[in-house]
Amino acid sequence: MSKVRVRFAPSPTGGLHLGGVRTVLFNYLFAKKHGGDFIVRIEDTDQTRFVAGAEEYIFNCLQWCGLVADESCQHGGSYGPYRQSERKAIYKQYADQLIKDGHAYYAFDTPEEIEAMRERLKTAGSHSLQYDHHIRQNMKNSLNLLPEETQKLLDAGTPYVIRIKVEPDEHIHLTDMIRGEISFDTNTVDDKVLLKADGMPTYHLAVVVDDHLMKITHAFRGEEWLPSAPIHVLLWKYLFGLDKMPQWAHLPLILKPDGNGKLSKRDGDRLGFPVYAMDWKDPITHDITKGFKELGFLPEAFNNLLAVLGWNDGTEQEVFSMEELIDKFSMERVHKGGAKFDFEKAKWFNHEWIKKLPADNYAARVADIFEAKGVEMDGLYLLKVIEMIKDRCTLLSDFYEQGIFFFKAPSTLDEAAVKPKWDEKKQLFFAELIKAFELNTSWQHDDLENGFKELAAANQLKTGELMLPFRIMLVGGKFGPSVFNIATLIGKKETISRIKKGLSVFNS
């Protein structure tokens, strides 16, 4: 049995959508599960859609997700080049072979002639505007021209494309790993362009030739590519033999939250959540489209939430590490139907992974958030802060709001939560608490808590009535972990200073 080789073949045209990253993930999981290779091949044959910086962006996204290629234009390999634009010279011979064998033809139609043809079809009320077996009989191509006429046009340098010749009244069969047996009627399939006028191949020719030359064994892509499948099956049949064709799987769509259609960037903008892995900056407009990374997601959570959009392992388990995903993943468990995207569920996954991972896994990113706001810190101190508050954080950006009081005394206090029940007895209690804390030599959680309760009892006050004022003195509001954990971490001097400030505010 040949070694499993799967590939992800993105076009460098912009941001990397959730559906694209999930395709990468499923390719990666399948390859690693079967001890195979994961290849990234850049499909940049359509130079009109090429966007500067998009290729680097794609690899940055994959790096962040931990989905590192075994072979690519960045990582090298034995089957390069890994950019289709650098393989241009390879494809012409296969297009020529198809013409020689009667499976393709030269088409000399100008864009204006094709547009005129479509207008005629519209006027005639045709349901199809495709260049198919009906239309090709009336167009300027080598099927209708005499051989010497075709050669004369070629010798004159007349622009042309090469189209596949799809025979009518046939059925093309494909076995899909997710969907089973699929059949296509060739009467609904048009004669796709294989080689463009600039000599570059279209996706249809390039993907088949490259998959063959790179010995790809499995090809996974979104279900939106199903209409192209019959062309690819025919090309495999004509060029290399169906026995050499990779096994195919067409992945279900990621749907809008309401389930009505494929999730798009516009949906994310409208509903207030990202649909790209990382921030994408348009090089022309300089507009930034937000990504999951910059919003405060962990890659572990991002991979996890994408894995279960269309797949499960047959149990109730929801949180999976990469190792568990590799071990449990199978195409048999991928659903046929689309999966609705739920941003609240996505945030739940991130919260679970923030709690699950040790603080040093993401402390550097949290530090960046604080430093961007002008807060400098000690690394070891930050780790203690993260461990103390991570159960309260859903996004990495939450660490600032939930933890800024560990680094800076609150500038304002929630007076409205304290003053209605503030009285002289409480004022005296906190004045005595300052003296008790000044005498405390251990400054440990249990000692602080016990001393606090004993002093409350001595003043005939309930501990519960004093905890809220104490918390607001330390953090500014009604949030945060145990007040005695906070006091322990910020230290004696800072704790006493904040109590004094609280007394000043509440007594005013």
The catalytic residue positions are 265
Whole-angstrom CA distances from 418 to 402, 415, 469 are 20, 5, 6
What are the φ/ψ torsions at residue 365 (nearest 5 degrees)? Answer: -70, -35
Torsion (CA) 438, 441, 442, 446 in degrees, nearest 10? -40
Whole-angstrom CA distances from 222 to 45, 254, 409 are 19, 9, 52
What are the φ/ψ torsions at residue 253 (nearest 5 degrees)? Answer: -70, 155
Exposed (0-12), middle (13-18) or buried (19+): which is 422, by Cβ within 10 Å?
Answer: middle
Q: Hey, which bits of 149-205 come out as E strands?
A: 161-164, 171-176, 180-185, 193-195
Estimate the crossing angle of helix 379-389 against helix 363-372, to 10 degrees.
Answer: 100
- Residue pair 166/143 in contact by the 8 Å Cβ criterion: no
**Tokens standing for 485?**
């954990």
Element housing 163 (H / E): strand 161-164
Torsion (CA) 266, 269, 275, 277 in degrees, nearest 10? 130
Element housing 25 (H / E): helix 18-33
Distance between CA atoms of 366 and 162, rounded to whole angstroms? Answer: 54
Torsion (CA) 271, 273, 279, 282 in degrees, nearest 10? -10
